[in-house]
Amino acid sequence: MSIHLETNVKLLNGKMKFEARAESHPPIITDYVPPFGNYEGYMPLQLFLISLSTCLGGSITLLLGRMEIKVEDLEIKATGQRRQEHPTCFEKINLAISLKSPNGTQADLEKAVALSQSKFCPVLAMIDKSIEIGFEYSVRE
């Protein structure tokens, strides 16, 4: 069974500023740096890193819960290194994952990330295999 998702974007200023909508959720404004845009919103690659981080974070939280690991806090800082030539997509992405848990270990977090990467995080699965993805782990009580 497939699930149909739909979004709509509308150009706002004749440059690169768009209003993006999905169902009845509040709109998201995207833009680009001058001279192509006015940098009055998220850049599309920033939204990609947000999507990747929230998808990965959701699967990690779910998997740790199934492992009976209590998640008190989870943060992911994503950084991406863009290529110089077009398309200026990421050539490298680093995900620094910080878990606060009274009973979780770095090994537990690494296991959840590996499972997410292999079968549970669709955004991570869609990343081209030529893009280097690095992980950093931090676990605190």
User: Distance between CA atoms of 89 and 82, rounded to whole angstroms?
Assistant: 5
pLDDT of 2 reads 81
pLDDT tens, position by position, 49-71: 999 999 999 999 999 999 999 99
What does pLDDT average to over the chain? Answer: 96
Give the per-residue pLDDT at 41.
97
CATH 3.30.300.20 fits 44-140, yes or no: yes
pTM check: above 0.85: yes
Tell me what percent of the residues of the chain surpass a pLDDT of 90. Answer: 97
Residue 28 has pLDDT above 80, yes or no: yes
DSSP 22-62: -TTSPPEEE---TTT----SB-HHHHHHHHHHHHHHHHHHH
